[in-house]
Amino acid sequence: MRLSEAQIHQYREAGFLVVSRLFDTETALQMIQHYMKRRAEGPKSGDSGGTTDHPEDPNHQYPRMINMHNWDGLTGEWAMQATMLELVEQLIDDKPVLRQTMLYFKPPGGRGQALHQDEQYITIDPLIGVWIALDKSDRSVGQMVVVPGSHKRGLLQVEAADTAISFTAVQSVMPAGVEEFYVDMEPGDALFFDGKTIHGSYMNESNDRWRRSFICHYIGENAEDFDPPQGKHVSHLRH
Ligand SMILES: O=C(O)CCC(=O)C(=O)O
Protein backbone atom coordinates (compact mmCIF):
# COMPACT_ATOMS: atom_id res chain seq x y z
CA MET A 1 0.00 0.00 0.00
CA ARG A 2 1.43 3.37 -1.05
CA LEU A 3 0.89 6.35 1.22
CA SER A 4 0.08 9.63 -0.49
CA GLU A 5 2.43 12.58 -0.25
CA ALA A 6 -0.17 14.28 1.94
CA GLN A 7 -0.16 11.37 4.40
CA ILE A 8 3.64 11.32 4.62
CA HIS A 9 3.64 15.10 5.04
CA GLN A 10 1.07 14.81 7.84
CA TYR A 11 3.25 12.22 9.64
CA ARG A 12 6.39 14.34 9.31
CA GLU A 13 4.67 17.57 10.43
CA ALA A 14 2.24 16.34 13.09
CA GLY A 15 4.17 13.28 14.24
CA PHE A 16 1.26 10.89 13.71
CA LEU A 17 -0.98 9.42 11.01
CA VAL A 18 -4.18 7.37 11.14
CA VAL A 19 -4.74 4.71 8.48
CA SER A 20 -8.28 3.37 8.49
CA ARG A 21 -8.93 -0.38 8.37
CA LEU A 22 -5.34 -1.58 8.22
CA PHE A 23 -6.85 -4.80 9.56
CA ASP A 24 -10.40 -5.80 8.66
CA THR A 25 -13.09 -6.05 11.32
CA GLU A 26 -12.99 -9.86 11.30
CA THR A 27 -9.25 -9.85 12.04
CA ALA A 28 -9.72 -7.31 14.85
CA LEU A 29 -12.34 -9.63 16.35
CA GLN A 30 -10.09 -12.65 15.89
CA MET A 31 -7.32 -10.77 17.75
CA ILE A 32 -9.69 -10.01 20.64
CA GLN A 33 -10.74 -13.66 20.92
CA HIS A 34 -7.16 -14.88 20.59
CA TYR A 35 -5.67 -12.55 23.20
CA MET A 36 -8.53 -13.03 25.69
CA LYS A 37 -7.78 -16.78 25.52
CA ARG A 38 -4.03 -16.22 25.94
CA ARG A 39 -4.69 -13.87 28.87
CA ALA A 40 -6.88 -16.51 30.53
CA GLU A 41 -3.95 -18.97 30.44
CA GLY A 42 -2.35 -17.08 33.33
CA PRO A 43 0.65 -14.82 33.90
CA LYS A 44 3.14 -14.17 31.09
CA SER A 45 6.64 -12.76 31.33
CA GLY A 46 6.62 -8.94 31.42
CA ASP A 47 2.91 -8.54 32.31
CA SER A 48 2.14 -5.05 33.59
CA GLY A 49 -0.98 -4.29 35.62
CA GLY A 50 0.45 -0.94 36.65
CA THR A 51 1.37 0.70 39.93
CA THR A 52 0.15 -1.20 42.99
CA ASP A 53 -1.26 1.85 44.80
CA HIS A 54 -4.63 1.33 43.07
CA PRO A 55 -5.52 -2.33 43.61
CA GLU A 56 -9.08 -1.65 42.43
CA ASP A 57 -7.82 -0.96 38.88
CA PRO A 58 -9.12 -3.81 36.66
CA ASN A 59 -5.86 -3.61 34.66
CA HIS A 60 -4.46 -5.77 37.49
CA GLN A 61 -6.84 -8.58 36.47
CA TYR A 62 -6.02 -8.07 32.78
CA PRO A 63 -2.42 -6.86 32.76
CA ARG A 64 -0.87 -5.52 29.59
CA MET A 65 1.07 -8.24 27.80
CA ILE A 66 4.41 -7.52 26.19
CA ASN A 67 6.53 -9.12 23.47
CA MET A 68 4.00 -11.80 22.73
CA HIS A 69 5.79 -12.40 19.40
CA ASN A 70 8.44 -14.26 21.43
CA TRP A 71 5.95 -16.95 22.44
CA ASP A 72 2.89 -16.55 20.21
CA GLY A 73 3.07 -17.32 16.48
CA LEU A 74 -0.03 -15.33 15.50
CA THR A 75 1.40 -12.17 17.08
CA GLY A 76 4.48 -12.55 14.90
CA GLU A 77 2.29 -12.90 11.79
CA TRP A 78 0.18 -9.85 12.61
CA ALA A 79 3.18 -7.71 13.52
CA MET A 80 5.06 -8.68 10.36
CA GLN A 81 2.06 -8.34 8.04
CA ALA A 82 3.29 -7.05 4.67
CA THR A 83 1.11 -3.93 4.49
CA MET A 84 2.09 -2.89 8.00
CA LEU A 85 5.80 -3.17 7.14
CA GLU A 86 5.33 -1.30 3.84
CA LEU A 87 3.67 1.60 5.63
CA VAL A 88 6.27 1.74 8.39
CA GLU A 89 9.09 1.69 5.83
CA GLN A 90 7.63 4.69 3.99
CA LEU A 91 7.26 6.63 7.24
CA ILE A 92 10.71 5.97 8.71
CA ASP A 93 12.59 5.77 5.40
CA ASP A 94 14.38 2.63 6.53
CA LYS A 95 13.77 -1.11 6.63
CA PRO A 96 11.61 -1.86 9.70
CA VAL A 97 12.80 -4.18 12.45
CA LEU A 98 10.19 -5.30 14.98
CA ARG A 99 11.22 -4.12 18.42
CA GLN A 100 8.21 -4.70 20.69
CA THR A 101 4.61 -5.94 20.73
CA MET A 102 2.00 -5.25 23.41
CA LEU A 103 -1.65 -5.98 24.10
CA TYR A 104 -3.37 -3.43 26.32
CA PHE A 105 -6.75 -4.75 27.50
CA LYS A 106 -7.98 -1.65 29.37
CA PRO A 107 -11.22 -3.10 30.79
CA PRO A 108 -14.12 -0.84 31.87
CA GLY A 109 -12.84 1.39 34.68
CA GLY A 110 -9.18 0.72 33.74
CA ARG A 111 -6.55 3.42 34.20
CA GLY A 112 -4.89 4.95 31.15
CA GLN A 113 -1.21 5.61 30.50
CA ALA A 114 0.06 9.09 31.32
CA LEU A 115 1.27 11.14 28.35
CA HIS A 116 4.88 10.35 27.40
CA GLN A 117 7.33 9.89 24.54
CA ASP A 118 8.25 6.31 23.69
CA GLU A 119 11.92 7.28 23.35
CA GLN A 120 11.76 8.06 27.09
CA TYR A 121 11.44 4.26 27.44
CA ILE A 122 13.19 2.84 24.35
CA THR A 123 16.35 4.82 23.64
CA ILE A 124 16.70 4.15 19.92
CA ASP A 125 16.04 6.56 17.06
CA PRO A 126 14.13 6.39 14.77
CA LEU A 127 11.38 4.53 16.58
CA ILE A 128 7.76 4.29 15.46
CA GLY A 129 4.68 3.02 17.29
CA VAL A 130 1.69 1.46 15.56
CA TRP A 131 -1.43 1.36 17.73
CA ILE A 132 -4.24 -0.78 16.35
CA ALA A 133 -7.73 -0.40 17.76
CA LEU A 134 -9.46 -3.74 18.36
CA ASP A 135 -12.59 -2.18 19.91
CA LYS A 136 -14.21 1.10 18.99
CA SER A 137 -12.02 3.71 20.66
CA ASP A 138 -13.57 7.03 21.67
CA ARG A 139 -13.59 9.48 24.56
CA SER A 140 -15.58 7.34 27.00
CA VAL A 141 -13.15 4.40 26.83
CA GLY A 142 -10.03 6.57 27.06
CA GLN A 143 -8.98 6.67 23.43
CA MET A 144 -5.45 7.51 22.29
CA VAL A 145 -4.40 11.10 22.80
CA VAL A 146 -1.54 12.63 20.81
CA VAL A 147 0.12 16.02 20.94
CA PRO A 148 0.57 17.22 17.35
CA GLY A 149 4.04 18.54 16.55
CA SER A 150 5.52 17.43 19.88
CA HIS A 151 8.03 15.15 18.13
CA LYS A 152 9.83 18.33 17.04
CA ARG A 153 10.50 19.37 20.65
CA GLY A 154 13.26 16.79 21.20
CA LEU A 155 13.33 14.50 24.22
CA LEU A 156 11.50 16.11 27.14
CA GLN A 157 11.99 16.04 30.91
CA VAL A 158 10.03 13.42 32.85
CA GLU A 159 8.00 13.98 36.00
CA ALA A 160 5.69 11.98 38.29
CA ALA A 161 2.29 11.10 36.83
CA ASP A 162 -1.02 10.95 38.68
CA THR A 163 -1.43 7.24 39.37
CA ALA A 164 -5.12 7.72 40.22
CA ILE A 165 -5.66 7.90 36.45
CA SER A 166 -2.46 6.40 35.00
CA PHE A 167 -1.24 2.85 35.46
CA THR A 168 2.32 4.07 34.86
CA ALA A 169 4.03 6.48 37.24
CA VAL A 170 5.97 8.72 34.83
CA GLN A 171 4.97 11.31 32.25
CA SER A 172 6.53 13.95 30.01
CA VAL A 173 6.70 17.54 31.18
CA MET A 174 4.29 19.15 28.72
CA PRO A 175 5.85 21.96 26.65
CA ALA A 176 4.03 25.32 26.68
CA GLY A 177 1.50 26.09 23.98
CA VAL A 178 0.71 22.55 22.83
CA GLU A 179 -2.71 20.92 22.55
CA GLU A 180 -4.00 17.40 22.99
CA PHE A 181 -5.74 15.72 20.06
CA TYR A 182 -8.22 12.90 20.76
CA VAL A 183 -8.07 10.16 18.13
CA ASP A 184 -11.39 8.41 17.42
CA MET A 185 -10.79 4.97 15.95
CA GLU A 186 -12.80 1.99 14.72
CA PRO A 187 -11.72 -1.66 15.07
CA GLY A 188 -8.81 -2.36 12.69
CA ASP A 189 -7.75 1.31 12.34
CA ALA A 190 -4.05 2.02 12.92
CA LEU A 191 -2.37 5.06 14.46
CA PHE A 192 1.28 5.48 13.48
CA PHE A 193 3.28 7.80 15.72
CA ASP A 194 6.87 8.97 16.00
CA GLY A 195 8.98 7.83 18.98
CA LYS A 196 9.11 11.45 20.19
CA THR A 197 5.41 12.25 19.75
CA ILE A 198 3.80 12.78 23.16
CA HIS A 199 0.89 10.39 23.51
CA GLY A 200 -1.04 8.35 26.06
CA SER A 201 -4.58 7.98 27.33
CA TYR A 202 -6.99 8.70 30.15
CA MET A 203 -9.22 6.30 32.06
CA ASN A 204 -11.79 4.01 30.55
CA GLU A 205 -14.83 5.74 32.08
CA SER A 206 -17.39 3.36 30.60
CA ASN A 207 -19.18 0.69 32.63
CA ASP A 208 -19.22 -2.04 30.04
CA ARG A 209 -16.87 -1.28 27.14
CA TRP A 210 -13.32 -2.55 26.73
CA ARG A 211 -10.61 -0.67 24.87
CA ARG A 212 -8.33 -3.41 23.63
CA SER A 213 -5.41 -2.50 21.38
CA PHE A 214 -2.56 -4.32 19.67
CA ILE A 215 0.57 -2.19 19.74
CA CYS A 216 3.77 -2.73 17.76
CA HIS A 217 6.99 -0.77 17.85
CA TYR A 218 9.55 -0.83 15.05
CA ILE A 219 12.99 0.65 14.65
CA GLY A 220 14.87 1.22 11.40
CA GLU A 221 17.57 -1.22 10.34
CA ASN A 222 19.98 1.74 10.65
CA ALA A 223 18.53 3.09 13.90
CA GLU A 224 20.96 4.09 16.61
CA ASP A 225 20.94 3.74 20.39
CA PHE A 226 21.41 6.97 22.32
CA ASP A 227 22.14 7.94 25.91
CA PRO A 228 19.20 9.95 27.24
CA PRO A 229 20.21 13.22 28.90
CA GLN A 230 19.71 13.38 32.68
CA GLY A 231 16.04 13.66 33.65
CA LYS A 232 14.71 12.56 30.27
CA HIS A 233 14.33 8.82 30.74
CA VAL A 234 11.59 7.12 32.78
CA SER A 235 14.22 5.35 34.91
CA HIS A 236 15.56 8.73 36.05
CA LEU A 237 12.47 9.30 38.18
CA ARG A 238 12.58 5.94 39.92
CA HIS A 239 15.62 6.44 42.21
O1 LIG B 1 -2.74 2.61 24.77
C2 LIG B 1 -2.45 3.58 25.44
O3 LIG B 1 -3.27 4.17 26.12
C4 LIG B 1 -1.04 4.07 25.48
C5 LIG B 1 -0.15 3.22 24.63
C6 LIG B 1 1.21 3.73 24.53
O7 LIG B 1 1.60 4.63 25.20
C8 LIG B 1 2.13 3.19 23.55
O9 LIG B 1 1.71 2.36 22.75
O10 LIG B 1 3.29 3.58 23.53
CATH of the domain at 153: 2.60.120.620
Query: What is the value of pTM for the model shown?
Result: 0.96
Tell me whether residue 25 is in a domain: yes
Query: Within 13 Å of residue 17, how many CA atoms lie on the same side as its CB?
Result: 21
| Residue 114: partners with Cβ closer than 8 Å, 6 or more residues away | 161, 162, 165, 166, 168, 169, 170, 171, 200
Enumerate the β-bridge partners of residue 48.
64
Domain residues for the domain of 146 are 5-222+233-237
Ligand 1 binding residues, C-beta < 6 A: 104, 112-113, 118, 129, 131, 144, 199-201, 213, 215
With the most atoms of ligand 1 within 8 angstroms of its CB, the residue from 104, 116, 158 to mutate is 104
Tell me whether residue 14 is in a domain: yes
Tell me whether residue 227 is in a domain: no
Domain tally for the chain? 1
Output the residue whose Cα is nearest ligand 1's atom 10. 118
Residue 200 Cα to ligand 1 middle (Å):
5
Tell me whether residue 26 is in a domain: yes
Tell me whether residue 117 is in a domain: yes
What pLDDT sits at residue 113? 98
What pLDDT sits at residue 147? 98
Reduced to 3 states, what is the DSSP secondary structure of residue 138?
A: coil
Tell me whether residue 228 is in a domain: no
Residue 176 Cα to ligand 1 middle (Å):
22
Tell me whether residue 149 is in a domain: yes
H or E segment to which residue 39 belongs:
helix 25-40
Between CA 151 and CA 220 the distance in angstroms is 17
Residue 201 Cα to ligand 1 middle (Å):
7
pLDDT in tens, 78-90: 999 999 999 999 9
Residues of the chain with pLDDT under 70: 238-239
What pLDDT sits at residue 239? 45
- Cβ atoms of 143 and 184 closer than 8 Å: yes
- Cβ atoms of 132 and 25 closer than 8 Å: no
